[in-house]
């Protein structure tokens, strides 16, 4: 079962009060095919049962249910619910007489969340957080409604956006934290726990990778710096001018050749322990700068690379 199906299955089994059920059903039917009848299609068995129960409890009507196999080699079953009685009354009572719902459907936070829950069950999909990207989207075919839904989501600072794609409109959320907030908001608490566990794991893993990459970059820099220093020292030795350096600089040369993989900090600690003369990392750096400048002058004088 996909993560989208898991979330919808959880939402379809929530216990809610009568007022919330009206707003939820309004969200469900807002994306349905409405003419002389109301036709609602879903691939989720739990959602189909939810819709059937909501219509029966609120309007005392039993929708006609048809089950068909999906098209284009889709093995999933489509559950089609059709209501032919009192269509005008149902549409009016659910506040969907226009492109956007009547204000009473989303009059407070509880109703707005119930409405979004209904819309999600019918027109949304959400990536499993185990995948490479976080993504939640609503697929809609009405521009005015898409922007209405986008504004409703952003009332809760979910940072959703609208994208016009072919003949449809996609309202989407890409931030992991905001997707978790949405799931919590519509009541998918089991999904939230799963989602947050995976998100925290991925964030921790990414942080560990970044630290490892940073550590590797530091090691690479240490090796590169050490190699350059050894080249300078070998050049000075080849030219037989090591004695032109002062004693402190010659000591640094000796220990760099002895410990080619040591960082400047490690080298300062080693010299301090073995010679009994403390020297700081800054002091080591300063001496290597003098050695570097001396080697550069030798290169310029002898045209050596």
Q: Are 272 and 278 in contact (CB under 8 A)?
A: yes
Instruction: Name, in order, each residue with C-beta under 8 angstroms of 47's C-beta and a sequence gap of 6 or more.
Output: 8, 9, 12, 79, 121, 122
Residues in contact with 155: Cβ distance below 8 Å, sequence separation at least 6, in sequence order: 112
Q: Is the dihedral of CA 287, 288, 292, 298 positive or negative?
A: positive
Euclidean distance between CA atoms 151 and 41, whole angstroms: 26
The end-to-end CA distance of the chain, in Å, is 64
**Taking a C-beta distance cutoff of 8 angstroms, is the pair 184, 192 a contact?**
yes
- pLDDT tens by residue, the chain, 305 residues: 789 999 999 999 999 998 899 999 999 998 888 888 999 999 999 999 999 999 999 999 999 999 887 665 556 788 999 999 999 999 999 998 778 899 999 999 999 999 999 999 999 999 988 876 889 999 998 899 999 999 999 999 999 999 998 889 999 999 989 999 999 999 999 998 988 888 777 776 777 777 777 777 777 788 888 899 999 999 999 888 988 988 888 898 998 898 888 888 888 889 888 888 888 989 889 999 999 999 998 888 865 44
Domain assignments of the chain as residue spans, ordered by start = 3-187, 221-302
Q: Quick one: tokens of 15?
A: 């216990």
pTM of the model: 0.68
- Left, alpha or beta for 262 (phi > 0: left; psi -120 to 50: alpha)? beta
What is d(CA 271, CA 181) in angstroms, rounded to the nearest whole number? 56
Strand order in the sheet with 33-34: 33-34, 38-42, 77-83, 64-69
Residues 3-187, CATH architecture: Roll (3.10)
Phi, psi of 34 (to 5 degrees): -120, 125
| Structural contact between residues 75 and 64, judged by C-beta atoms closer than 8 angstroms | no
Contact in structure between 90 and 38 (CB atoms under 8 Å) = yes
């Amino acid at each position: 079962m996909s993560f989208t199906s898991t979330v919808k299955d959880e939402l379809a089994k929530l216990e809610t009060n009568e007022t919330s059920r009206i707003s939820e059903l309004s969200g469900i039917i807002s994306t349905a095919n409405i003419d002389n009848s109301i036709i609602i299609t879903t691939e989720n068995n739990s959602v189909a049962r939810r819709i059937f129960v909501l219509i029966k409890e609120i309007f005392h009507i039993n929708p006609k249910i048809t089950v068909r196999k999906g098209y284009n080699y889709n093995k999933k079953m489509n559950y089609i619910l059709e209501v032919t009685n009192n269509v005008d009354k149902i549409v009016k009572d659910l506040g969907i007489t226009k492109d956007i719902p009547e204000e009473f459907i989303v009059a407070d936070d509880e109703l707005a969340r119930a409405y979004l829950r209904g819309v999600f069950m019918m027109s949304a999909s959400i990536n499993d957080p185990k995948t490479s990207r976080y993504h939640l989207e609503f697929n809609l075919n009405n521009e005015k409604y898409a922007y209405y839904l986008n504004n409703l989501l952003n009332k809760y600072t979910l940072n959703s956006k609208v994208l016009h794609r072919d003949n449809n409109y996609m309202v989407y959320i890409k931030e992991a934290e905001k997707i978790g907030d949405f799931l919590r908001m519509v009541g998918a608490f089991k999904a939230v726990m799963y989602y947050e566990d995976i998100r925290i794991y991925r964030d921790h893993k990414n942080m560990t990778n970044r630290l490892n990459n940073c550590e590797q970059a530091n090691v690479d820099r240490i090796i590169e710096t050490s190699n350059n220093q050894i080249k300078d020292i070998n050049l000075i030795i080849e030219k037989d001018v090591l004695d032109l350096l002062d004693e402190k600089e010659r000591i640094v040369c000796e220990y760099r050749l002895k410990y080619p993989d040591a960082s400047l900090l490690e080298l300062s600690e080693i010299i301090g322990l073995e010679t009994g003369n403390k020297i700081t990392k800054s002091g080591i750096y300063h001496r290597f700068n003098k050695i570097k400048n001396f080697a550069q002058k030798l290169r310029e004088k002898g045209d050596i690379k």
